[in-house]
């Protein structure tokens, strides 16, 4: 069977796992159903992993069963382990799918506005300057699509912590920044959104390590750590708990929401 053209094992751990799973299955002349028996999952799961579809990832148990059956000396176990700890451009697509069904979303921003609250103009200026995507308009549209969760009948509770510098960094110029800060100010009035700001005078805090998000779903929690050109999706319970502690410690340094709202209004005046 021909290889799946869009897979690029050299650029993504997820694609590497997908490519190798298909390679070894075909080498052993196993059907999807037969490989499912080896991995203790359905044929559809095997197919989705082989195609690197969003939301479908090989877990440690499946990797271990493959390694034993194929006598691979821990090959898939190592791939899955490194995939969980590596920065990968595919992880944000995974994160966005979880975000769409989250009950609670927490985001800490060190340098830029949170994506869920960006205006199209701010997002466009940011993406154009960064030059990280080929189709800026498609990326802006996708970012605005994410924001639809704020308007659904039962929206998630959104908690935002951001560094004071975010309010004054002139992305896109004064007009774009004024509109962006106005959007932030409007969000402060939403009953399911809480925004708090960390002053520069707060000094050192754990948020200086970088931005991150965390999500709470009905049956699980996860975190996402950003990095240039990618990021890392964290689903292990112990490490997710560590980010919960980090969130609480950063929040302990932030202004109350009322004072943060006043600070946002003052920043708007600077760009008026």
Which domains are assigned to the chain? Answer: 13-85 (1.10.260), 91-271 (3.30.870)
Q: Is pLDDT at 1 greater than 60 in this prediction?
A: no
156-175 confidence digits (pLDDT tens) = 999 999 999 999 999 999 99
Q: Where are the alpha helices (DSSP H) in the chain?
A: 13-27, 32-39, 43-50, 60-70, 75-85, 91-99, 120-130, 136-146, 165-168, 174-187, 237-251, 257-271
Q: What is the pLDDT of residue 81?
A: 82
87-135 confidence digits (pLDDT tens) = 565 667 778 888 988 999 999 999 999 999 999 999 999 999 888 788 9
Q: Residue 77 corresponds to which tokens in the numbers above? A: 């176990």
Q: Does the predicted model carry a pTM greater than 0.75?
A: no
206-255 confidence digits (pLDDT tens) = 889 889 999 998 888 888 887 666 677 787 677 888 999 999 999 999 99
Q: Residue 271 corresponds to which tokens in the numbers above? A: 């760009």
Instruction: Tell me the C-alpha distance between 177 and 264, whole Å.
Output: 11
Q: What is the pLDDT of residue 239?
A: 81
Residue 222, helix vs strand vs coil? strand
Q: Are strands 221-227 and 157-163 parallel, antiparallel or unpaired?
A: unpaired
Instruction: Return the sign of the alpha-carbon dihedral for residues 85, 89, 91, 92.
Output: positive
């Amino acid at each position: 069977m021909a290889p799946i053209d869009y897979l690029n094992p050299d650029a993504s751990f997820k694609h590497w796992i997908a490519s190798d799973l298909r390679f070894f299955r075909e080498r052993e002349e196993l059907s999807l159903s037969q490989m499912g028996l080896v991995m203790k999952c359905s044929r559809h799961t095997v197919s989705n992993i082989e195609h690197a579809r969003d939301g479908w990832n090989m877990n440690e148990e499946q990797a271990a069963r493959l390694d034993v059956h194929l006598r691979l000396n821990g090959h898939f176990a190592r791939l899955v382990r490194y995939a969980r700890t590596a920065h990968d451009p595919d992880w944000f697509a995974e994160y966005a799918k979880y975000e769409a069904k989250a009950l609670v979303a927490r985001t800490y921003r060190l340098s830029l506005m949170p994506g869920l609250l960006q205006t199209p103009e701010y997002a466009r200026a940011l993406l154009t300057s960064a030059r990280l995507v080929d189709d800026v308009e498609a990326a802006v549209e996708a970012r605005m699509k994410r924001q639809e969760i704020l308007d659904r009948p039962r929206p998630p509770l959104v908690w935002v912590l951001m560094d004071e510098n975010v309010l004054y960094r002139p992305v896109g110029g004064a007009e774009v920044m004024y509109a962006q800060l106005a959007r932030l100010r409007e969000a402060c009035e939403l009953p399911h959104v809480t925004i708090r700001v960390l002053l520069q005078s707060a000094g050192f805090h754990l948020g200086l390590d970088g931005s991150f998000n965390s999500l709470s779903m009905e049956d699980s929690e996860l975190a996402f750590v950003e990095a240039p050109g990618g990021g890392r999706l964290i689903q292990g319970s112990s490490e997710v708990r560590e980010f919960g502690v980090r969130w609480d410690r950063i929040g302990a340094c932030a202004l109350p929401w009322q004072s943060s709202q006043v600070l946002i209004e003052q920043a708007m005046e600077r760009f008026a």
